[in-house]
Structure 1
Amino acid sequence: MAGGASGGRSIIGLLLAAGRGSRFSADGSANKLLAGVDGRPVCAAAAQALRGALPRVAAAVSPAAPRVGDALRQAGCEVIVCDRAAEGMGGTLAQAVSWLSSREQAAGNEAPAWCIMPADMPWVHADTVAALRDAWLALPPSRRERAVLAPTYRQMRGHPVLLGPDWAAPLSQLQGDEGARALISGQVTPLAVEDPGCVRDVDTPDDLAPGPTLLA
């Protein structure tokens, strides 16, 4: 069962699923997010990691890839079609966070934290997401607002990244193809996990070959 936040604060899982994946298919004939892994699309497997630990998961998709949106709806995500997707990850992330933030405010809800993950990471384990969730909830309230937490596997930083509510405004100002990496540089608190999936993504068809399994 998916875990929730305590103390009235919520965490929204946000899957970034609007990329073109040109390294996977140079001519655009295949979308890596729809490639099969363990009997389901890559993007659906990634969504399951977030949904396994968070009650609320949204996915930002491109209007040019309706089948990705369909797959993520079937996986239980709220789908946001981002018309800024062609700008790149920064534009997609900004539009999704801005839209979700405005909706939360209109509903009278407290500003949420954000657990953000690329949709091309189908091997992330839900336990990793839960560890981030629990670590954020364990922080003193005064530290939660600006917190940035990310998993590390063998000293390699991975995904997803959990950002406190105060990051919504800076995230909403992102532009172009650069995501939040530069924005949060030097402010990330690492959380060691035994999950090789948190540092493994799909860039080319060869990446779909069997890889390391979750360590006990």
Structure 2
Amino acid sequence: MPSDSVAALVLAAGRARRFGNDKRCASLPARGMLLAATLATLRPHFGEIRVVLGIEDDPAHLGIAKDIGTIVAVAETAEQGMGASLAAGIHALRAESQALAVAVMLGDMPWVSRESFALLCTQASDRAIVRPFYRGQGGHPVLFGRCFWGSLEQLTGDEGARSVVCRHRDACIEVEVQDPGVVQDVDRPADLDWAGGSGR
């Protein structure tokens, strides 16, 4: 059953021009567009899913159908960096969501396993920061309890959530998973074939 206490927040406002084009629309073998595939992995596990887009983005063009229950949050200053996008998403959550925690996810990580999502959600609470690790490497999603949302909302520019994690080490729960998907994102076109190679 999807979690009612943990919401999912997908950061997808960047076009990632280093990829060569808008990687959110890149085709993932047998799974469609990259961002849509990432969102599809979340639906069985989270009753509330929000995706942060830029002010000029068209959700339909990115494969986000209106009938799947995904809520779009617009980051008007997304060009400033990931911190600005995260702050915009958290601002919308604080105003509209009753969730006790939020799973912050990147839009180019479509290989996280169902077991990882389920395990992380069992550790979530309003006062914990839950982080997955694979072979010593930190990954996503990172779950932030509601008491940390105010700090996330204050992020600016390209400052990600790392600073919030560093300030609250005592609240962090590190969960070791046997899932390389928590650390595998898409930086180059060749990464789209990862699931068909050594990853899965």
TM-score bracket, normalised by the shorter chain, equals: 0.7 to 0.9
Matches within 5 A, 1:98-113: 98-104=91-97, 109=98, 112-113=100-101
**What amino acid does structure 1 have at the position aligned with 2:131?**
A
Q: 157, 178, 189: which one pairs with 2:138?
A: 157
Q: Which residue of 2 aligns with 1:208?
A: 192
Tell me how many residue pairs correspond in the alignment. Answer: 193
**Root mean square deviation, CA, Å:** 1.9
* Alpha carbons 1:97, 1:172 under 8 Å: kept: yes
Report whether the alignment pairs 1:84 with 2:77.
yes
**What amino acid does structure 1 have at the position aligned with 2:2?**
G
Q: 7, 15, 26: which one pairs with 2:10?
A: 15
CA distance in 1, matches of 2:82, 2:114: 23
Q: 173, 177, 181: which one pairs with 1:193?
A: 177
CA distance in 2, matches of 1:61, 1:69: 12
1:55-106 CA deviation, whole Å, 9 max, x = no partner? 11110011233156752235541111221211111111111111221123xx
Report whether the alignment pairs 1:66 with 2:58.
yes
Specify whether residues 32 and 150 from structure 1 end up closer, same or farther in structure 2 by C-alpha distance, changes over 3 A only.
Answer: same
1:109-159 CA deviation, whole Å, 9 max, x = no partner? 4x53110001011111222111110122xxxxxxx3321111111121110
* Alpha carbons 1:94, 1:171 under 8 Å: kept: yes
Report whether the alignment pairs 1:4 with 2:37.
no
TM-score (norm 2): 0.88
CA distance in 2, matches of 1:194, 1:49: 17
Q: 38, 42, 57: which one pairs with 2:34?
A: 42
Structure 1 unaligned regions, length at least 5: 137-143
Matches within 5 A, 1:106-125: 109=98, 112-125=100-113
1:35-70 CA deviation, whole Å, 9 max, x = no partner? 111331111121122222111111001123315675
CA distance in 2, matches of 1:14, 1:68: 18
CA distance in 1, matches of 2:115, 2:49: 16
**What amino acid does structure 1 have at the position aligned with 2:110?**
P
